Every structure is written in C-alpha cells, then in structure tokens.
Amino acid sequence: MENNICCQKSSEKDDGAYLHQINEQNGRNFNKANSLLSQAECAVLKMSEPMPCNAVPVHGYDFNVNLNDYSELFNSFATTGFQAKSFSDSVIQINKMLEEKKSIPDFEDPSLSEFEFPNFFRPKTGCTIFLAYTSNMVSSGLREVIRFLVEHNMASIAFHFLNFNQRKLILQLFINCHFQVDCLVTSAGGIEEDLIKCLAPTYLGDYRLDGAQLRQKGFNRIGNLLIPNRNYCLFEDWLMPILDKLVEEQTTQNVSWTPHKLIYRLGLEINCSQSIYYWAAKNKIPVFCPGITDGSLGDMLYFHSIHRSPLKLDIVEDVRLINDMAVKSIKTGMIILGAGLIKHHVCNANLMRNGANYSVFVNTAQEYDGSDAGALPDEAVSWGKIRSDAKPVKLFCDATIAFPLLVSQTFLQHHQQARAKNLSG
C-alpha cells in the first residue's frame, strides 16, 4: 500500500515536471513565434523615408473628363510612368531642339552663317537637327511623316549672295515659317523604297505568310508589308538611264559623285511630290547614306557596272561633309528611328563636336548583347557622342506608333503656330 502511494506521488511529481517542461517549451515557442512575427512585421511594414518635395505622383488620364484635345491625353503621359514617361521626355527634348532653332546666331564672319555643300548652301540656325531612320521606316507609312518634315522646310535661297543684314532678315523669315530637320541619314533601303513608291505601291500583308509561297509568286515580305518584285523591275527601268547619264558626266565633265550627290540627283529626277528626296533636293536638305550599296541600289550599281565602266562614289567626301556640319553647328539635336549603321553614323559625326546637345532614340533593341543598336544613351555619353550635361531619351517603342505621335506634339505644333502667326500678319 505504501509502495503504491509512493509510486503515485512519484508519478505526480514526474507529471508536474513534464507539464512544467511543456509550459517552458511553449513559452519558448511563443517567444520565438513573437520574434519571427516581429521580424516579418519589420520587413513588411518597414517605414519609408519622406519623399522629396519635388516627387511627382503617378496619375493617368481621367476619361471622365471630356477629351477636347489629344494634347491633354499626351500631356498626361508625363505622370503615367513606363514608356509613356519616356514619350513625354522625348517630346520635351524635341521641343527644346525646335526652340533652340529659333535663335539667330550673330556671326562676325558672315561666311560662318551657313553650311556649304557641293550643290547648295544651307543657313545655320541655333540648333541643327539630324533625323536618321532605317529602311523599314520608309517601307511603312512613316514615309509620309518624314516627307512632311522635309516638305515644310527651307526653300531654295541664294543665301551666300546676301550681305550680313540681308542674311539675318531672311533667316528670321525662315525661322518664323519653318521648324523642321536640317539633315537626313538613312540606309540604302531608305532611299530606294521612297523612290520605288513613286513608281508602284507597297501593300499590307501578314507576318505569317509562307515565305516559299511568296517567293514563288514574286512577293517580298517586310514584316507585315508586301512589295511585288515587279516594283524593283520598274525601279531598274527608271534608274539605269539615269546611271548612264551620271557615268557620262563623270567621264566627260570630271564630276566626282558621292552618295549624297547621287541622292540629290535622284530626288530631282523622280520629280514626284510624294517623295522624301524630291523635297530634300528642292529644299536643299543634305541626305547621307553610308551604306549606299547595301540594297537594291547596290544591285543596280552592280548590274550597271557589268555593262559599262562603273559609277564611282566618293564616300570620304560625304563623311567629311556630315562631320563638318556637326562641328560647325551652334547646337545639335539627334532624332534616330531604328538603329545600327544610321544611328552610329549620326552619333559619330556628333563626336567631332564633343557630343550632341539633345538626343531622342526610338527603337526596341536591348543592350545585353553589346550592340550599338541596343546601347542606352549613357553609353554614347562615355564615347563623347552625347554631351555629359545632356538629357537624352531612349523610347522603347515601335517607331510606327511613336513617331507620328511625337511629330503631332512637336514639329506639327510649331508648324501650325508659325502658319497662324504669318496669316495674322
């Protein structure tokens, strides 16, 4: 009996110790859980530092408000974020170029107030704007947008025959009427596609059309665009007699041809108001094409050279002209649609003046492969192609979407304001 009582007491004592141990363990677990919860709360509910006084809240367009002017929608992009913000920054950059263009430099030496080219002179303004674009831009409907910028531009003026005061007066009239680009840079396709469209149209197609079937039918695909091969046959029929004349002038008159002189001549020969290069020739806007043989133009030059002595094109003269244009500018702005050769050619010209003052790049290329196409603007700053104090913008967007909208908020606005001012007296 006593043994049973002792065993019972011992058991109760053990149970008490066990319960005490359990309670201690639970307490430790509770404290540990509280500690983990506290850590989680600290991580999730970390206090922020105060935002700077100039911080801008994100806010998109409120369509509950009547949309009276699409400018209101585009203005809201400044606070929308992502590429909408880059679009807004691009508008700011281009408008700064155009505002700078309005300023009339005072030159002690009047000869410094113009750019001299073999076929023409072009007055300087406060900002020289370089527009560069790849061939697919001209294949698309952007051709008409680019043509607008070239069409409404400096008309032919015998500027170099005027004295300083006359030059200044003419330049003031020019500033009040025209706010567009000063120089074009493109690839061979960017030349030929424009000229070919004067002969026959390009058509809408589809990205998924079968390549073998298209080849059999004689259709060439550019994305979701189609160009009948017949268009290139028409181009050859039109171009070959012109090349004959150029070779004859090269031989009999000792004319030294360059890509930009060739493009100028083709613009005169096409004589079509739908053409970019018709207006470039008419309005004395230089067009540079560093890869002139890389396209149908190169094919035609090749075929033509088989039948007679070849046309010679001096690329060194052209690179000197575009570099001199950059060096002798007061300020410069670059607008580059697409990338690759055309982008680098303009940027490298601006290296000669320690960088462009304003820059807008519109493309979708990424920087991870080290390509020039994908490089962010800050990489160009490291090379001296964009000024260190500049605020360049890269807009990651299909240029066929972005550029018409950019023009509507920049060049078109200035053009319409100038027209209204001139009409009002």
Active site residues: 385
Radius of gyration of the chain, Cα coordinates, nearest whole angstrom:
33
Buried b (16+ CB within 10 A) or exposed e, 333-369: bbbbbbbbbbbbbbbbbbbbbebbbbbbbbbebeeee
Maximum C-alpha span of the chain = 140
**CA-closest candidate to residue 311, choices 238, 236, 251:** 251
What is the token pair recorded at 367?
Answer: 């920087």
DSSP letter for each residue of 203-270: EE--TTS-HHHHHHHTEEEETTEEEEHHHHHHHHHHHHHHHHHHHHHHHHS---B-HHHHHHHHHHHH
> Which residues have a Cβ under 8 Å from the Cβ of 270 and sit 6 or more positions away?
195, 198, 277, 278
Helices within 271-314 (DSSP H only): 276-282, 296-307
What is the token pair recorded at 201?
Answer: 């149209």
366 within 8 A of 375, measured Cβ to Cβ: no
CA distance 304 to 63: 59
